């Protein structure tokens, strides 16, 4: 499973595909950008107004200074006239510097006066030219008009004095006008200075007002930007928290293991809760992926997985082309559950690239538990094989001798019904010894059915009987108070066996032709085939000789017991007696062993003999096996001679085979032989020469 988690929970519409270069979009930043633009506009406006006002204030300062100079110059003119008149009265010559001061004062006053009226460039206080705007205020124009009224006649009176050679009367007229209007001119000059100062002060107030307004607007705009930013930040935080909560819910509830794999093969910070259970351990962000995987898979699978993940992180490798070589698409893991028991599971790993700008940034790893699917496939396979076996069994049943098949069906049905009666009569309230005895009886009957089925090549029934024996052995080994509860598991395999026998019964029509005898050759051929199959299963070679034709002369019940004995002794000879070819060659024997099964009728009794040319019975081997099974202590075995030791091979559950197979290992075959011998009222003799032969003889009347 792959999941893509949207950051914005409200974004449900599909988004346009992203290209390699992401186009910038104003989108949610539009309001902030407009606010910033207003902020810059306010700042620029205030800056322009501030510059303009400052420029005007500089001009006002010039006007104030020049207005003050007009007042000063008017007094200098009056003073120089008095000095000239004093020199005339004393008969002294007039000083040239006094005349120059008079003429310069008159000139500068007149130029400044005209500049205040119309605006012009005039010498400043330092002699450098400055531009002086005309006075525009109403009060200033009125004062300038008053100055003009006083200055024009005054300037006319001074004109003769501005040139050389003026007379005393001209000096007297100018001095008289100066004394008459000097105070008025001084007062007007003072008022004009005051007016220019007020104009400058007013402009400075305007500048402060503009600056204050700009600061207020800037603060308001800043507050708006801050509010918008905080609100958007809060919205973004809420969206992120909502997305994180959804991610947590997904990671908590999803059944697959989900996590990101970094380029250095470490687990990402987000892991689904199921991932811990799938790996059978607590995972942590930053764990190395291959370290986590190492104890769960083979070294080869781990190496292949590392190569595959490195391929996926290579951007030039096409992801679709390497999907089929994923070595972790189906991985068998052996983990331990909380009780420490081993648990076999199957996991499937899928890797998907997370690319940013053409580079593989992460791998999204999806882990699924496919145990149920694998188990289902295995069961389907087993069911398919079972069906094929049953079909094969039916084909073999059709090919088998009809009389032998009918005899098998009759005996098997009778035996299974006996087993059913034994199990129905068994309960946990009975003593353990009584239960074990009934289980031994049931095991003999099932073992006999297995042997007869194998004789006819009915492998499916033989395998199912073998499985039933396993269930009986498991119940027998349970022991203690749980043995009664364990009996509950037995009816099911018994029912399945009865079902198969019922199918064969319907096939053969055994009830309608039960009296038809079996051909002698067919019985011998069946035993020969059984011998060859058992030998092949054990990797041995054998040349069987079977002469059991006389069994047809016996009563049906005795014939059935004899046939079962022959089958079990034949299987025993091939499983335990005849050696493998290599061992026979080493002993100087032919690779192919010999087994002879013969039933002959003597003058007074019958004799069934089964003889093989194998390794013979080994009393020390049986003794060691009794020790391994802990049936006796070494001290107890010291009291047994070899004959007593060898007699234990007929005890239920005894076998010298190390493993249980279809043909040996349960210790039931010779127990069944002994039970049938007792039913026949027969006498069993056993002769064996180590390395040469083993022969069983059963004599009965």
Percent of the chain past pLDDT 90, that is, above it, reads: 26
Our CA dihedral for 212, 216, 219, 225, rounded to 10 degrees, sits at: -140
Q: Are strands 129-132 and 120-123 parallel, antiparallel or unpaired?
A: antiparallel
- Evaluate whether 295 touches 334 at the Cβ level (below 8 Å): no
Ramachandran angles phi, psi of 346, nearest 5°: -125, 125
* Element of type H or E holding 197: helix 168-253
End-to-end CA distance of the chain: 77
Nearest to 333 by CA among 319, 318, 350, 346: 346
Q: What pLDDT is stored for residue 18 in this prediction?
A: 45
* Element of type H or E holding 609: strand 606-612
What is the average pLDDT value for the chain, to the nearest integer? 84
pLDDT tens figures, 402-453: 878 888 888 888 888 888 888 887 765 667 777 788 888 888 888 889 888 8
Distance between CA atoms of 566 and 672, rounded to whole angstroms? 11
Q: What pLDDT is stored for residue 12 in this prediction?
A: 39
pLDDT tens figures, 146-165: 999 999 999 999 999 888 88
- How many Cα atoms occupy the beta-carbon half-sphere of 357 within 13 Å? 3
Q: What pLDDT is stored for residue 686 in this prediction?
A: 92
Confidence of residue 355 (pLDDT cuts 50, 70, 90): confident
Least confident of 2-11, 38-47, 189-198, 387-396: 2-11
Within 400-519, residue ranges assigned H as helices are 402-424, 432-455, 459-478, 483-486, 491-508
Vertex 285 angle, CA 282 and 291, to 5°: 65
Ramachandran angles phi, psi of 5, nearest 5°: -100, 115
- Evaluate whether 438 touches 423 at the Cβ level (below 8 Å): yes
What are the residue ranges of CATH 3.30.565.10 in the chain? Answer: 539-653+666-700
Kindly tell me if the per-residue pLDDT of 457 is higher than 70: yes
- Evaluate whether 279 touches 271 at the Cβ level (below 8 Å): no
pLDDT tens figures, 171-184: 999 999 999 988 99
Kindly tell me if the per-residue pLDDT of 496 is higher than 90: no
pLDDT tens figures, 16-60: 444 444 445 566 677 778 877 887 887 788 788 888 888 888 888
Confidence of residue 365 (pLDDT cuts 50, 70, 90): very high
What are the residue ranges of CATH 3.30.450.20 in the chain? Answer: 254-379
Kindly tell me if the per-residue pLDDT of 343 is higher than 80: no
- Evaluate whether 594 touches 693 at the Cβ level (below 8 Å): no
Distance between CA atoms of 614 and 414, rounded to whole angstroms? 35
- Evaluate whether 611 touches 692 at the Cβ level (below 8 Å): no
Instruction: Write out the DSSP string of 535-558.
Output: HHHTT-EEEEEEE-GGGGGS-HHH
DSSP letter at 458 equals -
- Out of 386-395, 399-408, 544-553, give the one with best mean pLDDT: 544-553
Laid out side by side, the sheet with 359-369 consists of: 267-271, 257-261, 359-369, 342-356, 331-336
- Evaluate whether 390 touches 478 at the Cβ level (below 8 Å): no
Q: What pLDDT is stored for residue 17 in this prediction?
A: 42
Q: Are strands 592-601 and 541-547 parallel, antiparallel or unpaired?
A: parallel
- Domain 400-507 CATH class label: mainly alpha
Kindly tell me if the per-residue pLDDT of 590 is higher than 90: yes
Distance between CA atoms of 622 and 642, rounded to whole angstroms? 9
Kindly tell me if the per-residue pLDDT of 514 is higher than 80: no
Residue that has been written with the tokens 């009780």 in this structure:
339
Q: What pLDDT is stored for residue 27 in this prediction?
A: 65
Confidence of residue 337 (pLDDT cuts 50, 70, 90): low
Kindly tell me if the per-residue pLDDT of 541 is higher than 90: yes
Domain 539-653+666-700 = CATH 3.30.565.10? yes
Confidence of residue 338 (pLDDT cuts 50, 70, 90): low
Q: What pLDDT is stored for residue 10 in this prediction?
A: 40
Nearest to 614 by CA among 644, 592, 647, 645: 592
Least confident of 426-435, 477-486, 513-522: 513-522
Q: What pLDDT is stored for residue 16 in this prediction?
A: 43
Secondary structure class of 522 (helix, strand, coil): helix
Ramachandran angles phi, psi of 308, nearest 5°: -65, -45
What are the residue ranges of CATH 1.20.120.240 in the chain? Answer: 30-223
Residues in the chain: 701
- Out of 1-10, 361-370, 628-637, give the one with best mean pLDDT: 361-370
Better pLDDT: 601 or 423: 601
Distance between CA atoms of 147 and 153, rounded to whole angstroms? 11
Q: What pLDDT is stored for residue 336 in this prediction?
A: 66
Better pLDDT: 394 or 565: 565
Better pLDDT: 510 or 606: 606
pLDDT tens figures, 678-691: 999 999 999 999 88
Distance between CA atoms of 614 and 698, rounded to whole angstroms? 20
Kindly tell me if the per-residue pLDDT of 8 is higher than 50: no
- Evaluate whether 228 touches 35 at the Cβ level (below 8 Å): yes
Q: What pLDDT is stored for residue 464 in this prediction?
A: 85
Kindly tell me if the per-residue pLDDT of 280 is higher than 50: yes
CATH no. for 30-223: 1.20.120.240
- Evaluate whether 5 touches 246 at the Cβ level (below 8 Å): yes
Q: What pLDDT is stored for residue 363 in this prediction?
A: 92
Distance between CA atoms of 277 and 283, rounded to whole angstroms? 9
- Evaluate whether 144 touches 172 at the Cβ level (below 8 Å): no
Distance between CA atoms of 155 and 339, rounded to whole angstroms? 124
Q: What pLDDT is stored for residue 197 in this prediction?
A: 87
pLDDT tens figures, 70-117: 889 999 999 999 999 999 888 888 888 999 999 999 999 999 989 998
Q: What pLDDT is stored for residue 386 in this prediction?
A: 78
Q: What pLDDT is stored for residue 9 in this prediction?
A: 39
Q: What pLDDT is stored for residue 479 in this prediction?
A: 60
Radius of gyration of the chain (CA): 63
Domain 254-379 = CATH 3.30.1490.20? no
423, 551, 553, 554, 557 from 601: Cα distances, Å: 38, 9, 10, 10, 17
Least confident of 472-481, 532-541, 576-585: 472-481
What are the residue ranges of CATH 1.20.120.160 in the chain? Answer: 400-507
Confidence of residue 517 (pLDDT cuts 50, 70, 90): low
Secondary structure class of 653 (helix, strand, coil): coil
Q: What pLDDT is stored for residue 362 in this prediction?
A: 92
Kindly tell me if the per-residue pLDDT of 594 is higher than 80: yes
Secondary structure class of 4 (helix, strand, coil): coil
Q: What pLDDT is stored for residue 209 in this prediction?
A: 86
Distance between CA atoms of 405 and 399, rounded to whole angstroms? 10
Kindly tell me if the per-residue pLDDT of 342 is higher than 80: no
**360: which strand partners?**
355
């Amino acid at each position: 499973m792959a999941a893509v988690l949207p950051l914005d929970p409200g974004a449900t519409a599909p988004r346009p595909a992203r290209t390699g270069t992401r186009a910038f979009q104003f989108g949610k930043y539009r309001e902030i950008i407009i606010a910033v633009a207003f902020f810059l506009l306010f700042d620029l406006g205030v800056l322009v107004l501030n510059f303009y006002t400052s420029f005007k204030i500089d001009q006002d300062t010039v006007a104030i200074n020049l207005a003050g100079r007009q007042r000063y110059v008017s007094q200098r003119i009056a003073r120089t006239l008095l000095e000239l008149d004093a020199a005339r009265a004393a008969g002294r010559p007039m000083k040239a510097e006094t005349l120059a001061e008079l003429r310069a004062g008159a000139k500068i006053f007149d130029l400044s006066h005209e500049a205040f009226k119309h605006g012009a460039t005039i010498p400043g206080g330092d002699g450098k030219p400055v531009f002086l705007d005309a006075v525009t205020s109403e009060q200033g124009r009125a004062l300038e008009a008053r100055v003009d009224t006083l200055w024009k006649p005054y300037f006319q009176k001074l004109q003769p004095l501005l040139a050389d050679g003026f007379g005393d009367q001209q000096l007297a007229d100018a001095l008289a006008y100066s004394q008459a209007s000097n105070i008025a001119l001084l007062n007007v000059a003072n008022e004009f200075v005051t007016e220019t100062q007020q104009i400058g002060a007013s402009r400075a107030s305007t500048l402060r007002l503009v600056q204050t307004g700009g600061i207020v607007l800037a603060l308001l705009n800043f507050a708006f930007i801050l509010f918008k930013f905080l609100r958007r930040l809060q919205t973004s935080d809420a969206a992120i928290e909502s997305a994180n909560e959804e991610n947590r819910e997904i990671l908590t509830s999803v059944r697959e293991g989900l996590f990101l794999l970094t380029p250095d093969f470490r687990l990402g910070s987000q892991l689904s809760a199921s991932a811990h259970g799938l790996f059978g351990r607590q995972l942590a962000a930053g764990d190395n992926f291959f370290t986590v995987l190492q104890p769960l898979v083979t070294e080869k699978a781990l190496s292949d997985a590392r190569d595959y993940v490195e391929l996926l992180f290579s951007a030039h490798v096409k992801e679709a082309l390497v999907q089929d070589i994923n070595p972790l698409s189906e991985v068998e893991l052996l983990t331990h559950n909380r009780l420490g028991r081993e648990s076999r599971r199957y996991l499937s790993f899928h890797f998907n690239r997370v690319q940013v700008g053409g580079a593989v940034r992460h791998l999204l790893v999806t882990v699924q538990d496919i145990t149920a699917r694998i188990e289902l496939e295995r069961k389907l396979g087993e069911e398919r094989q079972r069906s094929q076996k049953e079909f094969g069994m039916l084909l073999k049943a059709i090919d088998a001798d009809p009389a032998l098949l009918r005899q098998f069906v009759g005996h098997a049905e009778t035996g299974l019904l006996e087993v059913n009666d034994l199990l129905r009569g068994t309960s946990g309230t009975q003593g353990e010894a009584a239960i074990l005895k009934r289980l031994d009886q049931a095991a003999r009957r099932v073992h006999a059915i297995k042997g007869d089925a194998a004789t006819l090549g009915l492998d499916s029934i033989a395998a199912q009987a073998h499985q039933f024996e396993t269930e009986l052995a498991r119940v027998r080994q349970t022991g203690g108070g749980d043995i009664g509860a364990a009996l509950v598991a037995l009816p099911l395999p018994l029912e399945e066996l009865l079902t198969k026998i019922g199918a064969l019964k319907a096939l053969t029509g055994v009830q309608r032709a039960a009296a038809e005898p079996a051909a002698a050759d067919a019985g011998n051929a069946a035993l020969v085939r059984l011998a060859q199959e058992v030998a092949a299963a054990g990797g041995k070679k054998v040349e069987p000789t079977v002469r059991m034709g006389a069994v047809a002369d016996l009563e049906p019940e005795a014939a059935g017991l004899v046939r079962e004995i022959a089958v079990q002794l034949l299987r025993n000879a091939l499983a335990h007696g005849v050696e493998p070819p290599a061992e026979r060659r080493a002993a100087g024997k032919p690779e192919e062993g010999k087994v002879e099964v013969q039933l002959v009728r003597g003058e007074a009794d019958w004799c069934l003999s089964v003889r093989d040319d194998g390794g013979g019975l080994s009393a020390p081997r049986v003794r060691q096996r009794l020790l391994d099974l802990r049936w006796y202590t070494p001290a107890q075995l010291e009291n047994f001679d070899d004959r007593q030791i060898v007699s234990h091979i007929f005890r239920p559950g005894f076998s010298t085979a190390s493993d249980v197979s279809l043909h040996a290992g349960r210790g039931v075959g010779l127990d069944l032989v002994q039970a049938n011998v007792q039913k026949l009222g027969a006498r069993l003799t056993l002769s064996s020469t180590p390395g040469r032969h083993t022969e069983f003889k059963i004599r009965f009347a």
